[in-house]
Structure 1
Amino acid sequence: MSSSTTHPSRAAASSGAAKRGKTQMTARGAGMLACGVLLTVLGVGLATPVLVHIGVVVTCAVTVAWIWVLLAVDSFLRAFPHARRVVTPHPLTAGGPGSVSVVIESTRARRKRWVSSVADRLDIREQAAAELTGGIGTKATVMREPGRLELSYALHPARRGRWPLGPSLVRSADPFGMFVSSTPVGQPQLVPVWPAVVDLSATAGALMGHADRIVLGARTPSPDDASLRDYREGDDLRRVHWPSTARRGTMLVRSDERAGRRPATVIIDLPREPAALERTISAAASIAVSVLDSGHPVRLLGAGLHAQSSRHLGEHGTAAARFHLLNETVDLVAPATRAAASAQLITAAMLAADEATQGEVTVAIVEPLERAALDALAPLGDAGRAWALVRADGILGDDARFTVKSLRRSGWRAMTVRAQDDLAELWTRILTAGDIE
């Protein structure tokens, strides 16, 4: 038995006709059929019964081979009707390792000897999208047991998205090699692949701590101050923290649990170029995950994100929040036009503005912006809790620098970012020295 993987198209057929597979005549079968017909015609034309008999026999042999393959496919589907596929880990992560285990079991427990002999002769191939295998063929390992086949192979996902995997193809042939049939087993499935995530956990705490210091006006806030906020009309006076109020000269109240864990919003402005799109999504996911890992709620806002993404994740556990956050990025696609992207960015900025006045941290990963988008983002920088990375690849350099200057005038800490820049290093620089490009 041999096995390999092939790269199917995105759409996999699952109709009844496709379930039976595709039976093809080989070159040997075509030659035999042509010889049989030719001998029969010559025998009739030359009035030679021997040639006619040989021609009929050869033609009948081809017909028998075709019927053999059809019966073999039918018998196989009755014996092995299902395939169970397990992808580990699930979802996959772009650039990370993965594996697949495909189990095909027989339902004919009483006929194990016959089923086992069939299984020993199977040539099985697994279909996998090139985005899941890194564009290279994958060699699979096959384990055989009576009435059971297990096919295992490695995956090397290269791109974020949802990519087709399966169905398995089993190759059948007649003993004379005149017909071959590829029979699909099991159903195809779409495997989600998360974007590559850079570990920024070492600096996530610095981001949220820096925001706290800005609010409190001190380089090292006390434990009491870390859970305080400014008094707002309607607050219960019993929650006023009088020592901190006296120290600052401004009335402060004890915050609720969520305010003690300052939330953050990551705004994504998606570019249209495929490579830049993936880098932007990866950077946004890396920053958001690092905030989650530091114990703070976070949300993603921007083009292509569902309405429910406007709520913060992580208020009731990090693991589930991380899973949901990364799943939100799987189906993101480039905007149709730059104007559409700007409109979506303005909408995201308006949503973020509602929480920014309550002490929320804002991080934006954007393209060079037009005046309308800059005006929408400007209010978010008033409290000094806003950071931005502006893409400056190629001809975007001058526009990106103008965007950075405009954001800085509004109170943002902004820097340009290029494809060759290391995200972890750049992120550390913007947290420690936001005035450096």
Structure 2
Amino acid sequence: MAAGSGRARSVLTLRGRCLVGGGLALGLTGAVLGERSLVELAGFVLALPLLAALTVGRRRLRMTTRRSVTPSRVPRGAPAEVVLELVNSGTRRGGLWLLTEHVPPALGRPHRFSVAGLAAGAATTVRYRLLGRHRGRYQLGPLQLRIVDPFGLVERTGTGTGTAPLAVVPRVRPLGRGGPGGEHGSGGDGVPRALAVHGDDDVSVREYRRGDDMRKVHWRATARTGELMVRLEERPWRAQGTLLLDTRARAHLVAPAGRTAPDVPRPPGDDCPPTDSLEWLVEAAASIGMALVQRGAELRVVTATGELSSTPGRGGLGAEELLDRLAVVGPSRGTDLSAAVSAACRAAGDGPLICLLGAVGPDDVADLVRLRPGPATGLAVLVDITGWGDPVPSRRRGIAGAALDALAAQREEAAAVLAGAGWRVTTATAGQDVAEVWAALGAVPAGARA
């Protein structure tokens, strides 16, 4: 990147403007009083910025920059190191260079450096660190160069065109072995069986539904139960998992950009807890999704705005794809979850569906019960968003006691509806780690809630 590739311009500094103002006042005073010496002094004062401008204007902004970011993908809350290699590509020794590296506001303030007397063709290295406070994909740079005359009266600026990418992805928390399917083989109930990766033939059966292929009727189970039963699969079972991530803004308390949230309850040993309920859910999706991918599962993730895309030709998301897609997931404006529920149920088929939900009521989960009435695996985590509320009622994000009670009542009703339909349900709070919630979900019997 050549700094001179951008538009360069020379301007007076604050010191230069003050000097020009003083020179004009001195000349006007000398003219009024008839003091020739004051006028001559004013001419000398006014000549200094002019000479400085000529000096700075003769210097061409010739600098090449090579920028590297290590690592280029960091988990939220982790640092990244940026290395700037500056090369004086001109034919003369450089003067005083004042450098400003533009940084997205979500990552902090711009970084400023100074380099003096860099010989022609010589190089120097500047390093700085960034903390990935917020998820997202960012561009670091471009670099702005300022040349100042020795008296600090005139500066010339130029902006380069080169940038470097940095991705801040959600953290992946270890889940341990206590979650659904973590310690089970191919037997047992539907949840461990569906979440465990194995190669046995899946001979699970369910009740016949209108439209099912009659060739899949399991006659032995039909004779035993007295009702028409069909096979879930007749081929070797392929591990799969589908996540439904509730990203609706109305279902969360979303923290303003830059909030450090010192008052938010945090799990023990976590020095960078999620700043709001949506961040907690995204982190949970990353952790659970990575665990499923590592078990060999075919992973699909559906949000309130649609399914996260995967590489063409692949059936599901890979590990890096999952984190990259979740890095840019934000609150959505939609208020209805029905379209996302329908898409998630289609993606899951007869396989497991894990729902990560914000503030919901019984109406929000009615479609889940309606579209998955059979023995298909269903797990749900309902987040108590009030833990991320402002504890000071006078502030804008404060929640009144009546609203707290209403949210809790709706959440309990939704959990009861899901549990009554055979789902495993648990509630997550701001002070809980994803692993703790996942373990609690594994300990809940089918058709019950924690």
- Above 0.5 in TM-score? yes
Please name the residue that 1:32 is paired with.
19
Change (3 A) 1:313 1:284: farther
Does residue 261 of structure 1 match 2:238?
Answer: yes
Residues 394-415 of structure 1 deviation map (CA, whole Å, 9 limit, x = unaligned) = 3232221111111101111001
One-letter code of the match for 1:289? M
**Aligned match of 1:273:** 253
Q: Deviations over 1:333-380 (max 9, x none)?
A: 2122xxx23x2x21122123335443x111001124344432211133
Q: Which of residues 312, 318, 321 is equivalent to 1:321? A: 318
Q: Does 2:335 match 1:332?
A: no
CA separation in 1, counterparts of 2:191 and 2:149?
Answer: 81
> Partner of 2:440 in structure 1?
429
The aligned amino acid for 2:288 is I
1:42-78 CA-partner distances (Å, limit 9, x unpaired):
3333444333222212211111212333333xx12xx
Q: Which residue of 2 aligns with 1:382?
A: 374
Question: How many Å apart are 1:186 and its aligned residue?
Answer: 3.4
Residue 225 of structure 1 aligns to a residue in which SS?
Answer: coil
The structure-2 alpha-carbon separation of the partners of 1:128 and 1:366, relative to structure 1 and needing over 3 Å to count, comes to same
**TM-score, normalization by structure 2:** 0.73
Answering whether residue 39 of structure 2 is matched by residue 43 of structure 1, we say no
Which range is displaced more, 91-100 or 139-148?
139-148
Matched, 1:392 2:377: no
> How far apart are residue 430 of structure 1 and its match?
0.7
1:299 to partner: Cα distance: 0.8
Partner residue, 1:303: 304
Aligned to 1:290: 291
3-state DSSP class of the match of 2:325? helix
Which amino acid in 2 is paired with 1:408?
A
Aligned residues: 391
1:431, distance to aligned residue in structure 2 (A): 0.8
Cα distance change, pair 83–217 in 1 and its aligned pair in 2 (3 A): closer
Verify: 1:123 aligned to 2:98, yes or no: yes
Q: From 94, 102, 105, give the equivalent of 2:76.
A: 94
Cα contact 1:36–1:56 (8 A) shared by 2: yes
The answer as to whether partners of 1:140 and 1:153 remain within 8 angstroms in 2 is no
Offset from partner CA, 1:255-275 (integer Å, 9 cap, x none): 55xx63321110011234222
Please give the secondary structure, in 2, of the residue aligned with 1:260: coil
Shift of 1:101: 1.7
Deviation digits for residues 105-131 of structure 1 (CA, Å, limit 9, x no counterpart): 3444xx3xx2xx31x732323222343
Matched residues in 2 for 1:209 and 1:71: separation? 75
Q: Which residue of 1 aligns with 2:271?
A: none
How far has the Cα of 1:94 moved from its partner?
0.7
Q: CA deviation at 1:330?
A: 2.4
Q: Which has the higher helix share?
A: 1
Cα distance change, pair 203–307 in 1 and its aligned pair in 2 (3 A): same
Is the CA contact (8 Å cut-off) linking 1:357 and 1:383 kept in structure 2?
no
Per-residue CA distance 1:141-174 (angstroms, 9 max, x = gap): 9898843232221121111123442222333211
Deviation of 1:196 (Å) = 2.0
Number of the residue aligned with 2:126: 151
Question: Which position in structure 2 is the counterpart of 1:404?
Answer: 415
Q: What amino acid is the match of 1:213?
A: G
Runs of 5+ in structure 1 lacking a partner?
A: 1-13
Q: Does 1:351 align with 2:360?
A: no
- Is the 1:141–1:151 contact (alpha carbons within 8 Å) kept by the matching residues of 2? no
Distance 1:399 1:265 in 2: 25
Q: Return the match for 2:47 from 57, 60, 64.
A: 60
Identical columns (%) = 20
What value does the CA root-mean-square deviation take over the aligned residues? 4.2
CA offsets 1:71-96 (integer angstroms, 9 cap, x no match): 33xx12xx21x433222222332112
| Equivalent residue, structure 2, for 1:20 | 8
Matches within 5 A, 1:193-212: 193-200=168-175, 202=177, 206=181, 209=184
